[in-house]
Chain A
Amino acid sequence: MGAKKASPDLLNSSFSFKSLKLKTKQQELLLRVSILGLVYVLAFIARLFSVLRYESMIHEFDPYFNYRTTLYLTEKGFYEFWNWFDSESWYPLGRIIGGTLYPGLMVTAALIYWTLRFLRFFVHIREVCVLTAPFFASNTTIVAYFFGKEIWDTGAGLVAAALIAICPGYISRSVAGSYDNEAVAIFALLLTFYLFVKAVKTGSLSWALGSAFGYFYMVSAWGGYVFIINLVPLYVLVLLITGRYSMRLYVAYNCMYILGMLLAMQIRFVGFQHVQSGEHMGAMGVFLLMQVFYFLDWVKYQLNDTKLFQTFLRITVTSAILVGGIALGVGTASGYISPWTGRFYSLLDPTYAKDHIPIIASVSEHQPTAWSSFMFDYHILLFLFPAGLYFCFKRLSDATIFIVMYGLTSLYFAGVMVRLILVATPAVCLISAIAVSATVKNLTSLLRTKQKVPQTGSTKGVGSSKSSSKVTLDQSQPFQKNGAIALLVGVFYLLSRYAIHCTWVTSEAYSSPSIVLAARGAHGNRIIFDDYREAYYWLRQNTPTDAKVMSWWDYGYQITAMGNRTVIVDNNTWNNTHIATVGRAMSSYEDEAYDIMRSLDVNYVLVVFGGVTGYSSDDINKFLWMVRIGGGVYPVIKEPDYLVNGEFRVDKGASPKMLNCLMYKLCYYRFGELVTEYGKPTGYDRARGVEIGNKDIKLEHLEEAYTTSNWIVRIYRVKPPTNRL
């Protein structure tokens, strides 16, 4: 934007442009394209911090599952992948992979991989997976440009592209290596919205068709598609209420809904939900309402008598509402329409999850958002957003209504769950971009009229800017100009702070793979803890191929992907009882746990322990959730047994049950002999800052198999039953 605005001066002075003899429009186009190109590259390279700092690897937990399935897809082909029954997870139940995942991400990565192979670029599939997210982030900036152009003008489009390229809210889920569904889903989400807005604006079937396919891609990629299928009908409803019904809207919505629904049914995981689940019923209701509107319009056209029409209107509306209500009631009562799911409820009634679904409430990214998290992820966009809202209302159109609704609903959801900040990011960037673009445009046009430079073609657009320049023409005060310059400087200062903030956040907070940990040593040097991979490769090379490994569900995907061994539970969390069984085993005494483990054919138990390194997200700190989830299914496990006066302790004052449960024993086995910090007694737990309470731990049914170099992962072998003879 900055470069674009300065274009006339720059062009006058620069020799090379002059010699090219471009027309103003061509110059503008050239500038726009080159800015977009730079933004495209910027979005990609800003996400490479993690590769530079560590290495090209897959991050965190879920991406390992995605990577594993992508590998399977590229090796065995699409049909094998689609029909894959995975017996290596959720032992002994197994998991039908093809029917329980969103295949969009894997298929996308595989397609990129096959294309590259076809073009004779022989890359490893892992590199493709690592770089999928940055690539799609770059594509998102292009979509953001067109979206911004659609709702405001090209300037806003460019600013939106630049803002979203480095917005931490988006970067948090799209750095190189975070190979997760959201990586492509945000692109699909924004594309669908853009195409739909375009379709409403033009009323053309082709744009609506495009948006239906965009929706299909979104459905194939991420469960967040439910947001689209609820926001779009809501938007249509608002347009209907505010009297903005038009034939364009009718064409756009009907085409998008019907085709999108039919396409979405092709995804097995989604299936017939569009016609059966309560979460999708709003869209269908609005669809029917559209038909009633159209019908009424037609009847009004046929009947010339107003009174007759009024009566007809009343009868139609009443009967339509009645029929709809009865259908919904019968459907719900007969069980044909399923009620809302827990996740959906917890969005509408935020306190629901806390009371009813511990497995959702236990995940840190499902926590409600504090203001500092918003500040961290949006920075100055938060200041610009209200200004953007104001500008949107100043120039109300179908498109701006959409972006305002998208922004507000998604911000509300972002307030309920931290992870949904991601969904709100494009809207926040777009609305803030409107604020920046409109402000800068107004101020520069004010400056330019002072200098009596003839208006160039780039200031078509904003009506308010025209009127403002007219007013200032009447009164020629130098102060106005100074004020405008001061304001401009202020805006650019803010934007530069934003750039600094984003770079810092990306580099420091969002680029750690969490599978390799980094810490600062005593002399400021970087220490790398690579214990996870050490442990998983140990499992891969030293255990029988059919060994079953029990761990808390967080590590399930990583064990199957990197260790190539069967796990009892993993991050899919589809079977609460199974997870509760593991939670129960971990929180029972060793002999009770042994029976549970025998019944599950467990050969190895893996725990994550941060007492030596001071790594705080280890199993001891997650232990209360194991107790809670276990106790939710098996009432034998009671949370108060593990607490002392409501406090969770591991030192001498801990409860006896805590000191002797399996998890405690496995984490602190032989820890009592170890000196972890100078000047502290043996068995000093650095993660919790206490000396442990039980230093003399004897294991009866398990034996230590492997402990990684920094003790972060500890693996135990379950002994076979003793010979009774």
Chain B
Amino acid sequence: MADHTTLPHRFFLSISLLSILAVSQPDLTKELVSLRSSSESGVIRLTDDTVSKFITSVSTPRPYSLIIFFNSIDLNSNPLQEFRREFAFVSASFIANNNNRSDVANKVFFCEIDESSDSEAFGLFGIQFLPQICLVDPLMENLQDKTGRMEEEDVDGTAESVVEFIESRTNLTVGPLHRPPLLSKTQISVIVALIAISTPFLIKKVLKGETVLHNSRVWLFCTVLVYFFSVSGTMHNIIKGMPMFVRDHEDSNKLVFFYKGENFQLGAEGLSVGLLYNVVGLLLAYVTNALVRVRSVSGQRVFMMLAMVVSLLAVKKVVYLNSWKTGYEIQTYWPSSWH
């Protein structure tokens, strides 16, 4: 606890020292500023080289502080990337709010280190878990020091938590957060215009009873869609936040689509199996109900053969996948006298 209260003081001290030292190392700050202006939302991507250039090989006190977000693309974790976007909002808001005060704006730089490409730099900090944010203040020498880290329970993945962290540690104010609106103004105006134009037509159609609601084909399509999403375990993916696929642990270029083990699945496998169900079911319906009305005999024959082969393959595939996934072997029980 004591560490936290002293941190702002350390920061003050360093700021006062900066005024003297800033003259000696102006190039680095300038370089950081240019890197920042060229990167998206002002988050600088640090590599193994730049970490040594801007942090380890610069003598303390450095003329700037770095706020580093530790990322890992390979983890393929949605919450982590969500947090990364929030971090970018903070960075962009900070720059926007302090646009005309270069003395503030050029003291703090938002950075990111990716474990998958720059594991060496990542290792320097001794990070054990993600997400993690670290403030490298001008006086910090031991990068493994945990005082600059964000407290584990404070990391909740929101931009607000990052702002709180920065403001409590540095005496700087980030200012109001500028989140991009869900829809841009032009999009909203286009949508409003479309609705306004279509309303009279819609009303006319409703009165006439000619809407999509009165078309049974649309309903059929919707029901099949609902069925598809239900049995393919989409709710499972939403609730558990499963990704569509993951990268292989050993070979990061290989993608894993199917997960072995019951009660757990990846997004893509459920969808593909759900598709197979629907293909077989609808083919069966089509063959027995609509195909018989087709006049061309050869057409009937070809389609029927095709439908049978496709159904057979699909059923076989699903059964195979199921026994592979669950590890169950279904067997028949014959009367004991038959053995």
Contacts and interface: CB of A to CB of B under 8 A. Distances in A.
Interface of A: 241-243, 350-351, 354, 367-376, 380, 382-391, 393-394, 396, 404, 407-408, 411-412, 414-416, 435, 438-439, 442-443, 446, 464, 467-468, 471-472, 475, 477, 479-480, 483, 486-487, 490, 494, 500-501, 503-505, 507-508, 640, 645-646
B282 A386 contact: yes
Contact of A486 (B236, B308, B326, B332): B308
Contacts of A389: 220, 223-224, 227, 281
User: Which interface residue of A370, A385, A480, A505 has the most chain B CB atoms within 10 A?
Assistant: A370
B323 to A, nearest CB: 10
Contacts of A487: 287-288, 304, 308
11 contacts: A350-B235, A370-B264, A371-B236, A376-B322, A385-B227, A390-B220, A390-B281, A393-B223, A468-B289, A487-B308, A645-B129
Contact of B318 (A368, A375, A394, A490): A375
A382 B231 CA distance: 8
Interface in B252-285: 262-265, 269-270, 273-274, 277-278, 280-282, 284-285
A287 to B, nearest CB: 23
Nearest to A500: B332
A408 B223 contact: yes
A472 B233 CA distance: 41
Contacts of A372: 262-263, 265, 322, 325-326
Given A375-B322, A471-B293, A351 B239 contact: yes
A494 B278 CA distance: 16
B293 A640 contact: no
Given A375-B318, A376-B326, A386-B224, A242 B235 contact: no
A408 B220 contact: no
Interface residues on B, range: 35 or more
Contacts of B224: 386, 389
Contacts of A494: 315
A117 to B, nearest CB: 37
Given A371-B274, A372-B265, A375-B322, A396 B281 contact: no
B182 to A, nearest CB: 19
B219 interface: yes
Given A387-B282, A411-B231, 9 more contacts: A242-B214, A350-B238, A370-B270, A371-B233, A372-B322, A380-B315, A383-B280, A394-B289, A408-B230
A387 B281 contact: yes
Contacts of B304: 483, 487
B301 interface: yes
B212 to A, nearest CB: 12
A242 B285 contact: no
B330 A475 contact: no
B227 A408 contact: yes
Classify the secondary structure of B's interface with A: helix
Contacts of A508: 328
A404 B227 CA distance: 10
Contacts of A394: 289
B315 A368 contact: no
Given A414-B230, A483-B301, A373 B263 contact: yes
A370 B236 contact: yes
A411 B263 CA distance: 17
User: Which interface residue of A241, A350, A351, A375 has the most chain B CB atoms within 10 A?
Assistant: A375
Contacts of A645: 128-129
B236 A368 contact: yes
A242 B234 contact: no
B194 interface: no
Nearest to B263: A370
A267 B26 CA distance: 80
Contacts of B331: 500, 504
Contacts of A483: 300-301, 304
A367 B263 contact: yes
A438 B292 CA distance: 14
Contact of A242 (B213, B223, B311): B213
B288 A438 contact: yes
Contacts of A504: 330-333
Classify the secondary structure of A's interface with B: helix
Contacts of B297: 475, 477, 479
A369 B262 CA distance: 10
Nearest to A507: B333
A6 B311 CA distance: 26
Nearest to B237: A368
B152 interface: yes
B292 A442 contact: yes
Nearest to A501: B330
A467 B291 CA distance: 12
Contacts of B265: 370-372
A391 B285 contact: yes
A23 B330 CA distance: 44
Contacts of B126: none
A370 B282 contact: no
Given A408-B226, A415-B233, A387 B285 contact: yes
Given A387-B284, A435-B285, A503-B333, A396 B216 contact: yes
B232 interface: yes
Nearest to A389: B223
Contacts of B226: 408, 411-412
Interface in B207-253: 209, 213-214, 216-217, 219-220, 223-224, 226-227, 229-236, 238-240
B335 to A, nearest CB: 13
B231 A374 contact: yes
A371 B308 contact: no
User: Which interface residue of B226, B230, B233 has the most chain A CB atoms within 10 A?
Assistant: B230
A580 B159 CA distance: 33
A479 B301 CA distance: 8
A416 B333 contact: no
Nearest to A378: B231
B304 to A, nearest CB: 5
Contact of B292 (A390, A404, A414, A471): A471
B301 A383 contact: no
B292 A468 contact: yes
B288 A443 contact: yes
A401 to B, nearest CB: 9
Contacts of B282: 386-387, 390
A374 B233 contact: yes
A383 B236 contact: no
Nearest to B304: A483
A411 B292 contact: no
A127 to B, nearest CB: 26
A124 B152 CA distance: 59
Contacts of B238: 350-351, 368
Contacts of B322: 372, 375-376
Contacts of B219: 393
A142 to B, nearest CB: 26
Nearest to A464: B289
B284 A435 contact: yes
Given A438-B288, A442-B292, A383 B230 contact: no
A639 to B, nearest CB: 11
A39 B223 CA distance: 31
Contacts of B128: 645
B288 A442 contact: yes
B214 A371 contact: no
B262 A373 contact: yes
A104 B250 CA distance: 56
Contacts of A646: 129
A390 B224 CA distance: 9
A350 B239 CA distance: 6
B231 A415 contact: yes
Interface in B288-335: 288-289, 292-293, 297, 300-301, 304, 308, 311-312, 314-315, 318, 322, 325-326, 328, 330-333
